[in-house]
């Protein structure tokens, strides 16, 4: 017999055997469990946790295509955006008050390596869940879509939507303020990799995509209904109180540069399962960013 054919059959048999073993092992991992502690995160502090690129226990986004996203499949442009708006609006049956956000963030942003801590968005620091407040080294509730951009405040709605609220170090959050997003600026003290100038803020590389997908979620979710403004990204900075935030071209690049990781996927699942019951579609389908914009 042809030796090439024999070798090919041997390799195929080995691959099937290996796949069978892997399937058996994965099947023994409880839903939502992590196979091992995450590797250290890229940031200044030594106690920072790395977003893993392997999604053990995270949802498989394609499992929602036949149910949650079925009305959006095959669409592009405004038709896709409209379908996603209807989906994520109608399924958002859980809405929080601003005071309830504190405890929710302790759950959604829990450090996978230390259940007593949360991971801070911009600094990447792992910090005690109880160390929140108004001191510079405390953490507070960061509105990634700055609430002044549309002046929606902290009322239940966009002001309390967990899909864009993240724990952030008070001093770093103050530097970000309500600035638009763009590349460039001076590195932020105490938060290496983040940069800021007079009219824009650039987050560290590990969360650039997170920021982009949160902004674009908000643009799809809030379209002028519910008594709130129509939030739309644009390609400029210094938007002030207009219901716009930029730069869209930069956000699209960030989404491609930093695709969803296990931390972001797990966060999306927790919000879906326990709190709002809607999903950020750009975490499940990052290709929809280009399909719409």
The per-residue pLDDT for range 220-241, each reduced to its tens digit, is: 999 998 889 999 999 999 999 9
98 vs 234: CA distance, rounded Å: 27
The per-residue pLDDT for range 146-179, each reduced to its tens digit, is: 999 999 999 899 999 999 999 999 999 999 999 9
- Model's pTM, two decimal places? 0.80
Q: How confident is the model at residue 56, as a pLDDT?
A: 32
73 vs 71: CA distance, rounded Å: 6
Q: Is the pLDDT assigned to residue 126 strictly greater than 60?
A: yes
Q: How confident is the model at residue 60, as a pLDDT?
A: 63
**CA-to-CA separations, 150 to 142, 210, 231, in angstroms, rounded:** 16, 21, 7
Contact 208, 227 (CB under 8 A): no
User: What's 64's DSSP letter?
Assistant: G
Contact 201, 222 (CB under 8 A): no
Q: HSE-up of 4 (CA within 13 Å, CB side)?
A: 0
The per-residue pLDDT for range 12-47, each reduced to its tens digit, is: 333 333 343 333 333 333 333 333 333 333 333 333
The confidence band for 63, taking pLDDT boundaries of 50, 70 and 90, is confident
DSSP assignment string, 174-197: HHHTT-EE-S--EEPTTSTT-EE-
């Amino acid at each position: 017999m042809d030796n090439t054919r024999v070798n090919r059959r041997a390799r195929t048999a080995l691959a099937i055997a290996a796949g069978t073993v892997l399937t058996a092992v994965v099947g023994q991992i409880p839903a939502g469990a992590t196979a091992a502690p995450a590797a250290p995160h890229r940031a200044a502090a030594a106690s920072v946790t790395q977003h893993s690129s392997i999604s053990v226990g995270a949802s498989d986004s394609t499992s929602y295509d036949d149910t949650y996203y079925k009305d959006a499949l095959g669409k592009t442009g405004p038709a896709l955006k409209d379908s996603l708006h209807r989906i994520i609006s109608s399924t958002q049956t859980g809405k929080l008050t601003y005071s309830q956000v504190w405890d929710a963030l302790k759950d959604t942003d829990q450090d996978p390596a230390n259940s007593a801590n949360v991971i801070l968005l911009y600094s990447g620091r792992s910090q005690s869940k109880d160390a929140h407040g108004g001191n510079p080294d405390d953490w507070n509730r960061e509105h990634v879509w700055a609430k002044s951009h549309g002046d929606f405040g902290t009322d239940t709605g966009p002001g309390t939507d967990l899909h864009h609220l993240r724990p952030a170090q008070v001093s770093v959050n103050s530097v970000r303020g309500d600035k638009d997003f763009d590349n460039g600026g001076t590195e932020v003290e105490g938060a290496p990799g983040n940069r800021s100038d007079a009219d824009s803020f650039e987050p560290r590389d590990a969360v650039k995509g997170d920021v982009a997908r949160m902004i674009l979620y908000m643009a799809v979710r809030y379209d002028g209904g519910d008594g709130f403004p129509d939030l739309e990204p644009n390609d400029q900075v210094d938007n002030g109180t207009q219901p716009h935030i930029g730069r869209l071209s930069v956000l699209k690049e960030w989404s491609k540069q930093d695709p969803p990781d296990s931390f972001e996927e797990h966060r999306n699942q927790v919000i879906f399962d326990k709190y709002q019951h809607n999903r950020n579609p750009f975490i499940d389908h990052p290709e929809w960013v280009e399909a719409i914009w």
